[in-house]
Each structure stands twice: as structure tokens, then as C-alpha cells.
Amino acid sequence: MKRVVILGSTGSIGTQALEVIRSHPQRFEVVGLSAGTNWAELAEQASSFSVADTALGADEAEQLVRDVDADVVLNGITGSVGLGPTLAALAAGRTLALANKESLIVGGDLVRRAAAPGQIVPVDSEHSAIAQSLRAGSGSEVRRLVLTASGGPFRGRTRASLATVTPEEALAHPTWKMGRVVTTNSATLMNKGLEVIEAHLLFDVAFENIDVTVHPQSIVHSMVEFVDGSTIAQASPPDMRLPISLGLDWPDRVPGVGVPLDWTTAQQWSFEPLDDAAFPAVELAKRVGLAGGTYPAVFNAANEQAVHAFHDRSIGFLDIVDIVQRVVDEHEPSSELSRESLADAEAWARRAADQLID
Ligand SMILES: NC(=O)C1=CN([C@@H]2O[C@H](COP(=O)(O)OP(=O)(O)OC[C@H]3O[C@@H](n4cnc5c(N)ncnc54)[C@H](OP(=O)(O)O)[C@@H]3O)[C@@H](O)[C@H]2O)C=CC1
Ligand SMILES: CC(=O)[C@@H](O)[C@H](O)COP(=O)(O)O
Ligand SMILES: [Mn+2]
């Protein structure tokens, strides 16, 4: 029986994790829940799962992780605000089932140094796919990682045609139902940029050996190419309950959690190159990841600011990545990597982005 704390329990990841747990009571027990501000839904969840320990906000979530004895902490918080809870889970020796990619990307080596081997289990579907594929070979046999991308709702569009798209259009993801920020990031391809950095940090593969291919069906969730030319991929219908259940019970698989593929439709799978001219976010992310230090924190913070401004209709869709690019270009990196230097870099980036937004 795995004792599980769910951070971000009221969100897309959190509610799906509760679905997995409810349907497998012999395997999992919820012992802690946290949300941002949605106290009513949090209270309902706590009552429904008989959970005594709950938290509101990132600081309380960080304390909950320290106080509650658990085997696994699922971090399903949105944004770099999840960094504190991520570090607390690692320090407490919990298995960290990580959906909150921003905490790893922003924390960088601060998070990597805090994690024991295998302590972080990726929940992000591409990184779960890579972790599953890596079981087919050893680390030294890996030549390349290939991240798949749906291409988002604007796949095939020219940059010029994207100037006037609306928040509603950006949220119409073709294959996944997710929270607002990650869905918007999928539309700008910032999500894929973030995921390239995430893959580098999780699997220690050089950026030059991490590629992106657009796969509109979101069935193949990513692939690993080995030195002998063999490529191992993980494929399943787009359903986050599968990577979530693996995050909770790694390396064991939870029977019946996902619906198998219907192979008679496999001929509809397609792959195509990413249009870097229309969607420059991935190339920018690789530069940011290579620079490291406080650059990823600035990259992500500027994006969080711009995404919120886009949804407030203060800026246009193309302004999001443009603002991120300009803030990154203005950044003077800190020489040290600490929670303080990261917080300072993020605060600077949010102010710089806000000046460009206003
Ligand atoms: N949804 C998906 O399918 C996927 C998501 N991810 C990643 O997982 C993470 C969560 O995404 P998703 O579930 O879609 O997001 P949602 O926006 O649906 O949920 C976010 C959760 O975090 C909570 N939260 C928000 N702000 C804070 C805060 N300041 N302190 C504490 N808790 C907070 C929210 O609480 P409240 O309800 O009170 O606002 C909510 O429970 C993201 O990093 C995303 O990139 C990765 C792959 C797939
Ligand atoms: C389900 C998941 O992991 C998301 O991060 C998803 O990858 C977003 O889809 P894109 O491939 O469009 O970014
Ligand atoms: Mn993903």
C-alpha cells in the first residue's frame, strides 16, 4: 500500500490522480492534499478520501510534505511556485512523482543535486515515455531522445496568421484536456521547449541529442534511439492516468489503468518536422537550457507572466514568445544557483515582462 500526498489535487493532474487512487484502493492511500485557493473542492476531496492533512498555497504545501509521512508525493502544482514543495519532497526522502515540470526546469542543478538516483519519477507524458523506453537499454547505449509534440491547435499555421488568435482558440488543444497554463504553452510550443530542458535534466542527455518531432495523434509519447540504431517508443491513447499511475507505483504497472491501443487505426499515425519559423520556442529553449544557471528561471517566469497577460487580453498570442525572448536577451545571469538567486531572477523577469506587457 503506497501512502500518497497529492499537491495540486484540485487540478487536472490532481483530480486524475484521485481517480486512479479511487479505482485502486488496495494499492494506494491518500494521506495529504493541497490546492492553491480552491478550499471548497479541497475540503470535499479531503472528506471523500478521509484525509486529515490538507494545505492551501505553496508554503503550506511545502510544510505538509515535511509533516506527513508518505511514500510518494505527486507534485501537480502549476508553475515554478512548485519548487519549494519539490525540494521538500526530495529532502524528506519521498519518491517525487513529478508533473510540475517548472520546478525541475527552474531549479535545475539545485533539484538534481537534491535527488537520489531514481527518486524523481516523471509524470509528464513524454518523460514517462522516455523513462519506460529506457528500461529497454542502458544509459550508455542512448544516442538520442525524440520528444513528440502534438503541434497544438495551430499546427500548420503561418506565424503571420497567429497574430489575432484568441485565448479560447489557444485553449482548444487537439488531443489533451489539461490546465490553462500547460494548454497555452502547448499552443505556443513553449511546453515543448520546457520539456526539452526537462528531458536534459532528467536523463542527462546533451541538448544536441534531444530532438522534437510533431506527431498530431499524440499516441507515441516519445522515443529513445539507441547506439545500435534501434528506437524504442512508448505508445498509448492520450490519457494521463497511465503516466500518473506509473509515477505513483514505479516501476510497477497498475493493471487496467489505461485503455489499450486499437492497432487497426495505427495507419493514421503521422510525424512531421516542427515549423521553427512559426514556433521558435523550442530553439529558444535549447539556448536557454545550454546557458543554464538562472536563465531557465527567467525563461519560465517571463512565460508565466506573458501567458496570464494573454488570457487577460493585454497582449496578443505572438507577444508571448516575443516577450520571453526579449526578457531572456536582457538577463544578466547570477553566478550562484540558490533558492534566493532563483527567486531574485524570477522577480526581475516578472518585472521585465510586465514592463513589456504594459
Ligand atoms: N494536465 C495535464 O494533463 C498535464 C500537466 N502537466 C503539468 O502538471 C502541472 C499541473 O498541471 P495541471 O493539472 O494541468 O494544472 P491545473 O491548473 O489544472 O491545476 C493546478 C493545481 O495547482 C494548484 N495551484 C495553483 N497555484 C498554486 C499555488 N500557488 N500553490 C499551491 N497550489 C497551487 C491548483 O489549485 P487551485 O485549484 O486552488 O487553483 C491546482 O490544484 C503543470 O506543471 C503542468 O505543466 C504535465 C503534463 C500533463
Ligand atoms: C500530456 C502532456 O504531457 C502534455 O505536456 C502534452 O505533451 C502537451 O501536448 P503538446 O505535445 O501539444 O505539448
Ligand atoms: Mn508533456
Ligand 2: which atom is nearest the Cα of residue 240?
Answer: 1
pLDDT at 280: 98
Please tell me the distance between residue 140's alpha carbon and the centre of ligand 2 in angstroms.
27
pLDDT tens, 33-71? 999 999 999 999 999 999 999 999 999 999 999 999 999
What are phi and psi for residue 142, nearest 5 degrees?
-80, 130
**Ligand 1 in reach of 238 Cβ (< 6 A):** no
pLDDT at 335: 86
Find how far residue 258's CA is from the centre of its chain.
Answer: 20
**Ligand 1 in reach of 60 Cβ (< 6 A):** no
- Give the integer Cα–Cα distance in Å for 204 and 181: 26
**Ligand 1 in reach of 179 Cβ (< 6 A):** yes
CB-defined site of ligand 2, < 6 Å: 124-126, 149-150, 152, 176, 182, 186, 191-192, 240
pLDDT tens, 8-41? 999 999 999 999 999 999 999 999 999 999 999 9
Whether the pLDDT of residue 265 is over 80: the answer is: no
- Give the integer Cα–Cα distance in Å for 70 and 3: 5
Does an H or E element contain 209, and which?
A: none
Whether 137 and 226 have beta carbons less than 8 Å apart is answered as yes
Tell whether residue 168 is among the known ligand binding residues: no
Tell whether residue 179 is among the known ligand binding residues: yes
Q: Which ligand is nearest to the CA of 79?
A: 1
For atom 13 of ligand 2, the residue with the nearest CA is: 186
Whether 161 and 279 have beta carbons less than 8 Å apart is answered as no
Q: Is the peptide bond before 296 cis (omega within 30 degrees of 0)?
A: no
**Which residue, 335, 331, 324, 336, is CA-closest to 348?**
331
- Give the integer Cα–Cα distance in Å for 210 and 214: 14
Q: What is the chain's mean pLDDT, rounded?
A: 97
Tell whether residue 218 is among the known ligand binding residues: no
Tell whether residue 2 is among the known ligand binding residues: no
pLDDT at 271: 97
For atom 5 of ligand 2, the residue with the nearest CA is: 124
pLDDT tens, 174-205? 999 999 999 999 999 999 999 999 999 999 99
- Give the integer Cα–Cα distance in Å for 326 and 308: 17
pLDDT tens, 283-293? 999 999 999 99
**Residue 122 bridge partners (DSSP):** 98
- Mutational pocket test of ligand 1: of 5, 12, 123, 239, the residue with most ligand atoms within 8 Å of the beta carbon: 12
Whether the pLDDT of residue 264 is over 90: the answer is: no
Whether the pLDDT of residue 166 is over 90: the answer is: yes
β pairing state of 2-7 and 142-149 = unpaired
Reduce the DSSP state of residue 75 to 3 states and report it.
strand
ipTM of the complex model: 0.99
Q: Which ligand is nearest to the CA of 190?
A: 2
pLDDT at 267: 75
Q: Which ligand is nearest to the CA of 54?
A: 1
Whether 297 and 346 have beta carbons less than 8 Å apart is answered as yes
Please tell me the distance between residue 125's alpha carbon and the centre of ligand 3 in angstroms.
5
Please tell me the distance between residue 225's alpha carbon and the centre of ligand 2 in angstroms.
20
What are phi and psi for residue 316, nearest 5 degrees?
-90, 170
Does an H or E element contain 17, and which?
A: helix 12-22
Which triple of cell numbers denotes residue 116?
Answer: 537520489
pLDDT at 81: 98
Please tell me the distance between residue 123's alpha carbon and the centre of ligand 3 in angstroms.
8
pLDDT at 44: 98
Whether 349 and 339 have beta carbons less than 8 Å apart is answered as no
Whether 191 and 170 have beta carbons less than 8 Å apart is answered as no
Quick one: average pLDDT of 250-273? 91
Quick one: average pLDDT of 204-214? 98
Q: Please count the other Cβ atoms lying within 10 Å of the Cβ belonging to residue 276.
A: 13
Ligand 2: which atom is nearest the Cα of residue 238?
Answer: 1
Please, how many CA atoms are within 13 Å of residue 234, restricted to the half-sphere of its CB?
23
**Residue 76: partners with Cβ closer than 8 Å, 6 or more residues away:** 6, 7, 8, 9, 11, 12, 13, 14, 17, 99, 100, 123
Q: Decide: pTM greater than 0.80.
A: yes
pLDDT at 245: 98
Quick one: average pLDDT of 155-160? 98
Query: 333: phi > 0 → left, psi -120 to 50 → alpha, else beta; which?
Result: beta
Q: Please count the other Cβ atoms lying within 10 Å of the Cβ belonging to residue 37.
A: 9
275 — pLDDT class (breaks 50, 70, 90): very high
Tell whether residue 14 is among the known ligand binding residues: no
For atom 11 of ligand 2, the residue with the nearest CA is: 149
Please tell me the distance between residue 136's alpha carbon and the centre of ligand 1 in angstroms.
31
pLDDT tens, 297-348? 999 999 999 999 999 999 999 999 999 999 999 999 998 999 999 999 999 9
